Chains A and B, each alone.
Chain A
Amino acid sequence: MQAMIPDTLQGALILSAIDFFLSFVIISGIGVVLALFPLMNRVGKARVKSRRKTDQRDAVASEADEQHVAVIAAAVYATMAGAYRIVSIEPARREGDWVTEGRVAHHLSHLPKH
Chain B
Amino acid sequence: MLDQTLVFLQALLDQTGAVNVTWQNLVMIVIGATMIYLAITKHYEPLLLIGIGFSCIVANVPGPPDDVPGGKAISALLYVVKDGGLFHYAYEGVAKLIIPPLIFLGVGAMTDFGPMIANPRLVILGAGAHLGIFVALILAKMVGFTINEAGAIGIIGGADGPMAIFVAVKLAPHLLGPISVAAYSYMALMPMIQPPVMRLLTTKKERQISMAQLRKVSKVEKIAFPVVIAIIVNLFFPPVAPLITMLMLGNLFKECGVTERLAKTAAGPFMNVIIIILTVAIGGTMAGDKFLNLQTVMIVVLGLIAFVFGTASGVLTAKIMNLFLKEKINPLIGSAGIASVPIAARVSHIVAHEENPNNYLIYHAMGPNLAGVFGTAISGGILLALLGAK
Interface residues of A (CB under 8 A from B): 1-9, 11-13, 15-20, 22-24, 26-35, 37-38, 40-41, 44
Contact = CB atoms under 8 A, between A and B. Distances in A.
Contacts of A23: 127, 130, 375, 378-379, 382
Interface residues of B, number: 46
Interface of B: 116-117, 120-121, 123-124, 126-128, 130-131, 133-134, 137-138, 140-142, 146-148, 150-151, 215, 217-218, 220-221, 224-225, 228-229, 232, 236, 371, 374-375, 378-379, 382-383, 386-390
B379 A15 contact: no
A34 B382 contact: no
A41 B383 contact: no
Given A5-B147, A12-B147, A24-B127, A30 B232 contact: yes
Contacts of A5: 147, 386-387
A11 B140 CA distance: 12
Contact of A22 (B124, B128, B382, B390): B382
Q: Is the interface of A mostly helix, strand, loop or mixed?
A: helix
B121 A31 contact: yes
Residue picked from A1, A12, A32, most chain B C-beta under 10 Å: A12
Contacts of B126: 27
5 contacts: A4-B387, A27-B124, A31-B121, A33-B228, A38-B215
Most buried by B among A3, A8, A32, A44: A3
Nearest to A29: B232
Given A12-B150, A30-B374, A37 B141 contact: no
Given A33-B228, A38-B221, A19 B386 contact: yes
Given A27-B375, A37-B120, 8 more contacts: A4-B388, A23-B378, A23-B379, A24-B127, A26-B127, A27-B374, A28-B123, A33-B228
